Structure 1
C-alpha cells in the first residue's frame, strides 16, 4: 500500500474521554487547513455501522467467538473502504479505537487467546498500523464518577469484566514503544493541549 497520509489512533477504556478529544483534534486540524477524516470502530462504513448496532444492542446474546469475528469483519470493511483510501489520498485519519481495543475487550476481557486475536487483527487490517497512538487511561474511581445510567451491551458488562479490560489497557499501553499515554483525570483542555503539541510535532505544522 502506498500510504502517504497519517493515521492517528485514539485508544482507551469506556468513559476515558476519547470521543471528546477526537473531535477537538479534528476541529483544530481543520482550522489549520489539514485534510482530516474522523472515523470509529466498530463502524466507519455502512456495513460497519450495521455490525456496530448488532454488537452494542443490549438485547443481543453474542458468544465471545462470534463477537470477535464481528469486530474483525467490521474492521476489514473499514480498512478497505475508508482508512486505506483516505491515507492514499494524503488525509489525516483520526480513528476512535482500532486493534488494541479488540486485544483488551475480546482477548483479555472475554478470554480469547491473545495470539489468535492478534492474528485476526493482522488479517483484518492487512498489516496496517497507526502512525501515532494516543492512549487515554482512567482509574476505576474516575470511571465510576463518569458512568452513565444508559449503557450499551459492552458497557453493561460486569465490574469484573470492566476491571479486566481496564487492566488490559494498562498492560497493552505499557508495552507500546512510541505511544502518547495521558491520564484522563486531567482537564479536557490539558489533555487537548498535550495532544496538539505531539500532533504538531509529528505533522510538522
Structure 2
C-alpha cells in the first residue's frame, strides 16, 4: 500500500463519516503530513457549483440526471486527483462506492453505465482503503432530526437508506482487505481511536 494513500470515508446520512474525516485531518495536521481533502460532490469550484444544484431542495432532477451530475462533479476533480496521486495523502468524503450504492442499489440505475464512466474518468487511480460507516435506523433518524438544515438527499424514507446501506455492505464484501467497517452506533471516541490507529499503520 502506498504511504501516500487514497483513503475514502463512506456511509449513508448520519453515519458519522464527515466527523471522522475531520478527526483524521486533525491527526495529519498535528503530525505534519501532507494531504488534501475532497468532498463529493464538491471539492473544486465547478464541482461545488454542481453540488448546489444536486442538493438544492428545489431541484427536481430525474434519477438519471442526478447520476450524470454526480459523475460530472467527479470529472471536475480528476485533475486534482491526478496531480496529487501518490504525492500526498488524499482523503475523500464519498467517492465511487457512493455512486454505486445510491444510484444503483438505491435507485436501480445501470451499474454497467456507472462503472463505464467511472473507469473512463479515473483510469489507473486506485483507492487504498475505505472506511465504511454503518448506522442503525434509530440513530439515523435521531441524527437527521438534530441537523439544522436538511438537503434533498437527507429526506428519503428509511427503506431507501436501508437499500443503500446494504448496497455499501455488498460492495465491501467483494474486497474485504480494502475496507474497514466502522459501527457508528458505538461511542464516537472509540471509533476515532480505531480509525486513527488504522491510518497510522498505512501511512508509516
Same-fold call, TM cutoff 0.5: yes
Instruction: Find the residue that maps to 1:128 and give its secondary structure.
Output: coil
Instruction: Find the residue that maps to 2:42 and give its secondary structure.
Output: coil
Residue 139 of structure 1 corresponds to which residue in structure 2? Answer: 136
Residue 125 of structure 2 corresponds to which residue in structure 1? Answer: 128
Residue 98 of structure 1 corresponds to which residue in structure 2? Answer: 95
2:82 maps to 1:84: yes
Instruction: Find the residue that maps to 2:91 and give its secondary structure.
Output: strand
Instruction: Find the residue that maps to 2:172 and give its secondary structure.
Output: helix
Spell out, residue by residue over 1:55-74, the C-alpha distance to the aligned partner (whole angstroms, 9 max, x if none).
00010101111111111111
Instruction: Find the residue that maps to 1:154 and give its secondary structure.
Output: helix
CA distance in 2, matches of 1:176, 1:111: 22
Paired positions, count? 200
TM-score normalised according to structure 1 size = 0.91
Residue 168 of structure 1 corresponds to which residue in structure 2? Answer: 167
Unaligned runs of 5+ in 2: none
Residue 185 of structure 1 corresponds to which residue in structure 2? Answer: 185
User: Which 4+ residue blocks in structure 1 deviate beyond 6 angstroms?
Assistant: none
Shift of 1:170: 2.1
Spell out, residue by residue over 1:22-49, the C-alpha distance to the aligned partner (whole angstroms, 9 max, x if none).
0110110111110121111001000100
TM-score normalised according to structure 2 size = 0.92
Q: 1:4 to 1:186 in 2, by over 3 A?
A: closer
Residue 195 of structure 2 corresponds to which residue in structure 1? Answer: 195
Contact persistence 2:4–2:203 (CA under 8 A):
no
CA distance in 2, matches of 1:86, 1:98: 16
Shift of 1:103: 0.3
CA distance in 2, matches of 1:108, 1:94: 24
Unaligned runs of 5+ in 1: none
Q: CA RMSD, aligned part only?
A: 1.6
Contact persistence 1:11–1:18 (CA under 8 A):
yes
CA distance in 2, matches of 1:127, 1:41: 19
Contact persistence 1:184–1:191 (CA under 8 A):
yes
Shift of 1:4: 7.8
Residue 73 of structure 1 corresponds to which residue in structure 2? Answer: 72
Contact persistence 1:58–1:156 (CA under 8 A):
no
Residue 114 of structure 1 corresponds to which residue in structure 2? Answer: 111
2:2 maps to 1:8: no
Contact persistence 2:42–2:73 (CA under 8 A):
yes
Residue 57 of structure 1 corresponds to which residue in structure 2? Answer: 56
